[in-house]
Structure 1
Amino acid sequence: MMDSDDKGRVSVQIQDGTATLVLENQRQFNALTRNMCLQLVEILTDLSTQSEVKVIVLRGAGGNFCAGIAIDQMDRVLFDRDADGALMNHFDLVDRALTGCPQTTIAVVEGNCFGGAWQLASACEIQFASDEVKLAITPAKIGLVFPRPGIERLVRTVGESRAKYLLYSGARIPASEALSWGMFTRMFPSASLDEELAALLGALKGNSPYSITRTREAIGRFGRAQTDVEHELWWANLWDENGENPQLAEGRQAFLERRVPRYQ
């Protein structure tokens, strides 16, 4: 059920196999409301079933990415209750929907990236950021504990000491430092951000879907709890399949014929 006083929304545009999701709550620098979280989960769940969609791009309206959770919606987003009274964290559900997408997911981060916004961006596989991005992770300023997925991903990304610094202080750090700490995949001047995104989308469109999908699975298994036997068997099966997959044959033939491969 949508809240009548919640004006935030998420718009979707699908073109050439790319779905672009835009956070639209400019009055609050695109901070997430409960409705926006519900919309994101619904949209991402639907897109996950659309085989013609190969890439999902997440960005904010009006030159800002996101300002975390809307302060006036925090109880509704993070501490909601279902019909049975069980606690619901809608932001965690958005995180789970993003990380569970079978498509390539890209966050385009510019302007404000405050509070939970970095967690939202980091739930995507790739983050392209503007060199003018303003980044701070600020839960301690309002007495909140950062959500578990955000804390764990931040520690994996920047290390324990830097994660503590960012979370304890809520300090804004320079964009260049955030890049050097691995908090974004790549960083570009604001004027060239869309051009660089278009170049990446073109590369993804031209590359083998089989290769990207299986690579995603392999990376996803890295560090996951499993026995050595299970891991070795998975790789053995993959390698057997890998050598026989039709896209490898097409890619090699296209290279020899000096043409663009035609992947199905």
Structure 2
Amino acid sequence: MWKNIIVEVREHTAYVTINRPDKLNALNKATLQELQEILGQLKVDIEVWGVLLSGTGDKAFVAGADIEEFVGLSATTSKELTSWVHQEIMDVLYHFPKPVIAAVNGFALGGGLELAMACHIRVASEQAKLGQPEVALGIIPGYGGTQRLPQLVGRGKAMEMILSGEMISATEALDWGLVNHVVPQEQLFSSCEKILEAIYRKSPQAVALAIDAVNRGLENPKSGYEREIAAFAEAVETQDFKEGVSAFLEKRKPNFR
């Protein structure tokens, strides 16, 4: 069905794989359009509880945007492109109501790193390399890198990565807080699946509310507290809350819907 992306659902997890190995899985507009449609479908699919995002092969997660498509861009068309990618893909991922884990299986550069940063959790293989090399092309990160990278690693380290354009290793990314875990390549998917399985045992309604509250606070700390209070109030009205409390008092595992 999809030309540039492979989608497979197994045991309630949607495995979404950017499939352009000859281009190191670079994001061209056609791939981004497919990703937009796929995310829209997965968001409402009740059989899908979470998403594992990766790239084909063991060389690259996503090596960046497809630079060939940048040739001849005007200020107007580039603004339209980046606005669309922000609103329809990166922000959708960032606010996705189900857990999304990026399995960083190789190079995550430029738009590829920005795609990974839009996910909720990042797990990298030991061979992964991460970076924002845009300044070497005379541009800057345009898919959220100047905003999400400082949130994850702090202003100083983000400035170093963005201004130098140099890549960092998976170990450095772990030390800096850019990824959650670094594992051997052969354990990458099983490590991601283990995290998702732990989340699946919890209330899906509470998970969605927690994602929203955390994101709201990062965007605006004051409104984040307000959203946490409102989300907590929403949670206590759900069937999941009743089931969770009953299971706790009855000393059994909860059976969430």
Do Structure 1 and Structure 2 share a fold, with TM-score over 0.5? Answer: yes
Aligned to 2:212: 217
Choose which of 122, 130, 153 in structure 2 pairs with 1:127. 122
Q: How many Å apart are 1:198 and its aligned residue?
A: 2.0
CA 1:164 to 1:240, structure 2 compared with 1: closer, same or farther past 3 Å?
Answer: closer
SS state at 1:98 partner: helix
Q: Deviations along 1:196-223, whole A, 9 cap, x unmatched?
A: 1221122122111122122112212214
SS state at 2:253 partner: coil
SS state at 2:62 partner: coil
Check conservation: 2:95, 2:211, Cα contact below 8 A.
Answer: no
Q: How many Å apart are 1:240 and its aligned residue?
A: 4.0
Tell me the amino acid that sits aligned with residue 176 of structure 1: T
Tell me the amino acid that sits aligned with residue 203 of structure 2: S
Structure 2: unaligned runs, 5 residues or longer = none
Aligned to 2:68: 72
Q: How many Å apart are 1:238 and its aligned residue?
A: 3.9
Between stretches 26-35 and 240-249, larger displacement belongs to 240-249
Aligned to 2:198: 203
Check conservation: 1:37, 1:77, Cα contact below 8 A.
Answer: no
Any residues of structure 2 matched to 1:107-256 within 5 Å, and which? 107-147=102-142, 149-225=144-220, 231-232=225-226, 234-256=227-249
Aligned to 1:94: 89
Q: Deviations along 1:142-181, whole A, 9 cap, x unmatched?
A: 1111116211111222222212211121112222111111
Tell me the amino acid that sits aligned with residue 255 of structure 2: R
Choose which of 7, 20, 37 in structure 2 pairs with 1:25. 20
CA 1:16 to 1:162, structure 2 compared with 1: closer, same or farther past 3 Å?
Answer: same
Check conservation: 2:7, 2:16, Cα contact below 8 A.
Answer: yes
Which structure: larger Rg?
A: 1
Aligned to 2:31: 36
Query: How far apart, in 1, do the equivalents of 2:177 and 2:222 lie?
Result: 29
SS state at 1:184 partner: coil
Query: How far apart, in 2, do the equivalents of 1:187 and 1:71 lie?
Result: 29
Check conservation: 1:34, 1:76, Cα contact below 8 A.
Answer: no
TM-score by length of 2: 0.86
Query: How far apart, in 2, do the equivalents of 1:226 and 1:113 lie?
Result: 29
Choose which of 33, 41, 47 in structure 1 pairs with 2:42. 47
Tell me the amino acid that sits aligned with residue 40 of structure 2: T
Query: How far apart, in 2, do the equivalents of 1:9 and 1:76 lie?
Result: 24
Q: How many Å apart are 1:59 and its aligned residue?
A: 0.4
CA 1:214 to 1:200, structure 2 compared with 1: closer, same or farther past 3 Å?
Answer: same
Larger relative contact order (Cα-Cα within 8 Å, sequence gap ≥ 6): 2
CA 1:240 to 1:175, structure 2 compared with 1: closer, same or farther past 3 Å?
Answer: closer
Q: How many Å apart are 1:28 and its aligned residue?
A: 1.3
Check conservation: 2:95, 2:215, Cα contact below 8 A.
Answer: no
Query: How far apart, in 2, do the equivalents of 1:156 and 1:78 lie?
Result: 30
SS state at 2:200 partner: helix
Check conservation: 1:106, 1:124, Cα contact below 8 A.
Answer: yes
CA 1:235 to 1:91, structure 2 compared with 1: closer, same or farther past 3 Å?
Answer: closer
Check conservation: 2:95, 2:212, Cα contact below 8 A.
Answer: no
Between stretches 131-140 and 242-251, larger displacement belongs to 242-251
CA 1:87 to 1:249, structure 2 compared with 1: closer, same or farther past 3 Å?
Answer: closer
Query: How far apart, in 1, do the equivalents of 2:222 and 2:72 lie?
Result: 40
For the aligned residue pairs, the C-alpha RMSD in angstroms reads 2.8
CA 1:174 to 1:36, structure 2 compared with 1: closer, same or farther past 3 Å?
Answer: same
